[in-house]
Amino acid sequence: MLIVMNHKATQADVNAITKIVSEMGFRAEPIPGSERTAIGVLGNHGYVDDCKILELSGVQRVIHVSKPYKLVSRDFHPEDTIVDVAGVKVGQGHRPVVVGGPCAVESEEQIVKTALFVKKCGADMLRGGAFKPRTGPHTFQGLREEGLRLLAIAGKESGLPIVTEIMSPDNVGLVAEYADLLQVGARNMQNFDLLRELGKIRKPVLLKRGMSATVEEFLAAAEYILAEGNSQVILCERGIRTFETATRNTLDLSIVPLIKELSHLPIMVDPSHATGKRSLVAPMAEASLVAGADGVLVEVHPEPEKALSDGPQSLTFPGFEKMMGEIGQLTKFLLNR
């Protein structure tokens, strides 16, 4: 950490900071400059809370050199983490996986039909929301526990592992009974109590990036789960808010190779929520795999025009089949490059 002093800072200010930093258990190294003094803080093994320092006389700003995450960082853990979702391996060196299914579980017929179809096309896992984080309270909120039971039926009939969203720390036990991979949605990326609870279970977690989260905040959120002892975490880029309104969100594809540099955790991409537009889903799913994603998560519905949520971004069955054919070709190339 580097403490940058302002022009008016006196030697007494610098001395006061040196004293406080050593009381915090670190060493302060003043670096006098022609215009201002900076003070290097040495000896910390992680992020240092800067609140106390920012209040002191003469301080202009604090620059954090060390990051607010450690366990998820590649510096700390150079080998790639491979996440095992009921026998399906996700991570570097493994064939990228495809997770397909509707935004929400709506009926037994809908989820079973979709499960059997995506399985036939080569999908690796089935997705479907039972607890839905909808923007407004007057829309379909999901079938909740009944939805979980229908997912279990579809999982059994298709043989596919189940991915479903968890919204509340109180439901972790319930959802973990049914899910093979517990999804934390964008809106809950910083639900720290939920993340802590998920750190205590022994099932993998799919952590989606918050719609306004920086890469650092995203990794710091994953750190909460690892800090409680669960290192089976898959990150998922799902688009971020920008000035652009032509797509639902803006897919930040550069995060894929960036995460590979910064972290050992696998990263997947959800082009459905990133674009909000059916015609863009397959091209962006394929671009994600070229960028190095360990998998993609896409919404598929037997009748998207009748879907209770996210119909416009849901692939039709023929659309999903076509994308899977293209991904099959692409994967052959990617595994040999």
Binding site for Mn ion (CB under 5 A): 103, 310
Tokens standing for residue 21: 């930093």
Q: How many residues does the chain have?
A: 337
260 binds ligand PEP (CB under 6 A): no
Minimum distance from residue 283 beta carbon to Mn ion (Å): 19
| Residue whose CB is less far from ligand PEP, 119 or 127 | 127
Interface stretch with ligand PEP, choices 4-12, 180-188, 192-200, 255-263 (CB under 6 A): 180-188
Residue type, 46: G
269 binds ligand PEP (CB under 6 A): no
Question: Site for ligand PEP (CB under 6 A): which residue of 142, 155, 185, 271?
Answer: 185
DSSP annotation of 209 reads: P
* Whole-angstrom distance, CA of residue 220 vs CA of residue 206: 15
Minimum distance from residue 3 beta carbon to Mn ion (Å): 45
| Residue whose CB is less far from ligand PEP, 119 or 248 | 248
Residue number of the CB closest to ligand PEP reads 185
43 binds ligand PEP (CB under 6 A): no
The 10 Å Cβ neighbour count of residue 333 is 10
| Residue whose CB is less far from ligand PEP, 119 or 273 | 273
* Contacts of ligand PEP in 109-148 (CB under 6 A): 129, 133
* Contacts of ligand PEP in 277-296 (CB under 6 A): none
Question: Site for ligand PEP (CB under 6 A): which residue of 70, 119, 248, 273?
Answer: 273
Please report, in angstroms and rounded to a whole number, the separation of the first and last CA atoms in the chain.
Answer: 40
* Whole-angstrom distance, CA of residue 309 vs CA of residue 127: 14
Minimum distance from residue 300 beta carbon to ligand PEP (Å): 12
* Whole-angstrom distance, CA of residue 265 vs CA of residue 257: 12
Minimum distance from residue 47 beta carbon to ligand PEP (Å): 26
Minimum distance from residue 317 beta carbon to Mn ion (Å): 17
* Whole-angstrom distance, CA of residue 300 vs CA of residue 101: 5
* Contacts of ligand PEP in 215-244 (CB under 6 A): 238
| Helical ranges in the chain per DSSP H | 11-23, 51-54, 108-120, 145-158, 172-178, 192-200, 215-227, 255-262, 271-275, 278-290, 317-336
The two most distant CA atoms of the chain are separated, in Å, by 75
* Whole-angstrom distance, CA of residue 180 vs CA of residue 112: 17
Query: Residues interacting with ligand PEP, by CB under 6 A?
Result: 103, 129, 133, 185-187, 208, 238, 270, 273
